[in-house]
Amino acid sequence: MSNNKRVTLQQAVEIIKDGSRLTFSGFTIWRRPMAIVYELIRQHRKGLHLIEVNGGSHTEFLVGAGCVDIWESCWVGHELYGKYGANVSRKVREKELLVEDYSHAEMLYRFAAASQGVPYAVSQSSLGTDIHNPEYDMLGRAGLRDGKKNAKHKYIFTEDSFYDAGSLVLVPAAKVDIAVLFVHQVGEEGTVRINGQFYSDPEVARAADITIVMAEEIVPEEYLRRDATRNNIPSFEVDYILECPFGAHPSGVFGRYDVDGEFLKHFYTTTRTQEGFDAFAKEWIYGHDHLSYLEKLGWSRMLNLGSNSALNYTPRKPKGGN
């Protein structure tokens, strides 16, 4: 690995091959690496296998564009701005997308296990639900449980032999090829600083074979090392870095900008059908690069999303002298 970890947006996306097992930073509609998601769509990536602690708008974009064959997670939607994932729903109904359901805690524990280098995690969550129904092992039904890319079992049920705690469920470590993160700051050597909630980013970065970090800004490594307790991910866990201001839009970034709810509402209401998605993608994704996308969004929109730097969030009252 060379010391120079910098790549361009286009190069970052070229690292992600067709069929990759991929995961992301963030939480539902917060701190998602959207600029890379858009570029994956522009480069027509196919057959992706998303394994996510939770999904969100970025999942809907990738699934709507036909980039994804398998989605392994627990939730997709746009929170307040769209109550479910209409693209995922459509592709499931048309059997173009395989969905493997786990619970939210189970997905988190699966990444925690992978990040600790152990093959599975144990929990007492979701016992007695259809999430554990043996008939609903979708990767198994598709003959994809090879014990290499995909675990041999979706679950194993067992009993506690240490303290007689009762029924337990074992869930396989989430093995992913690549984690793509969007963060506040990354140093030239890869040290990551996130402000606010870090969600499950440390776990997914450590679990992945390759970690790509896109940041609002690349800062001197020495600056981050002056205050190491504030850093979230150590340099050597990060393979590639790039700078991309506003690269999480329309998702939000703590202390920087709010979720673009209007944009997500528009996406949700206009992409129920494939034709609707294609029209949206034509307008907002294809034929654009990150700068022309920002230009299309415009100054007034971006200014209104901007957070107050003392409060770290965006108050509801409009700002800027109006």
Near another protein in 192-251, by CB under 8 A: 196-203
Residues in the chain: 322
Extract the tokens encoding 277.
């998605």
The DSSP element (H or E) to which 123 belongs, if any, is strand 120-123
In the complex with another protein, the residue whose CB is nearer, 5 or 78, is 78
Segment contacting another protein (CB under 8 A): 24-32, 35-43, 223-231, 295-303? Answer: 24-32
Q: How far is the CB of 253 from another protein (least distance, A)?
A: 8
Q: How far apart are CA 308 and CA 310, in angstroms?
A: 6
Is residue 74 within the footprint of another protein (CB under 8 A)? Answer: yes
Does 185 interact with another protein (rule: CB under 8 A)? no
Task: Determine the interface stretch with another protein among 87-95, 184-192, 223-231, 289-297 (rule: CB under 8 A).
Answer: 87-95
Q: How far is the CB of 70 from another protein (least distance, A)?
A: 14
Least Cα distance to 44 among 21, 24, 17, 22 occurs for 17
Give the shortest CB-40-to-another protein separation in angstroms. 22
CB atoms within 10 A of CB 222: 11
Q: Cβ 156 to another protein, closest distance in Å? A: 11
Pairing type for strands 210-219 and 156-159 reads unpaired
**List 127, 142, 228, 303, residue binding another protein (CB under 8 A):** 127
107-126: contacts with another protein (CB under 8 A): 108-109, 112, 123-126
Residue 191 in contact with another protein, rule: CB under 8 A: no
Closer CB to another protein, residue 72 or residue 239?
72
Q: Contact between 274 and another protein (CB under 8 A)?
A: no
Residue from 207, 241, 258 nearest 30 by CA: 258
Under the binding rule (CB under 8 A), the answer on residue 29 touching another protein is yes
The distance of closest approach from Cβ of residue 55 to another protein in the complex, given in angstroms and rounded to an integer, is: 8
- Residue 136 to residue 132: CA distance in whole angstroms: 8
Q: Centre a 10 Å sphere on the Cβ of residue 7 and count the other Cβ atoms it contains.
A: 17
Among residues 147, 166, 318, 321, which is the contact residue for another protein, using CB under 8 A? 166
Backbone dihedral angles phi then psi of residue 261, each to the nearest 5 degrees:
-60, -35
- How many of the chain's residues bind another protein (CB under 8 A)? 76
Measured CA to CA, the distance from residue 281 to residue 264 in angstroms comes to: 13
> Looking at residue 32, what DSSP letter applies?
-
| Tokens standing for residue 11 | 């190069």
148 in contact with another protein (CB under 8 A): no
Residue 134, phi then psi, degrees to nearest 5: -60, -25
Establish if 105 lies at the interface with another protein (CB under 8 A): yes
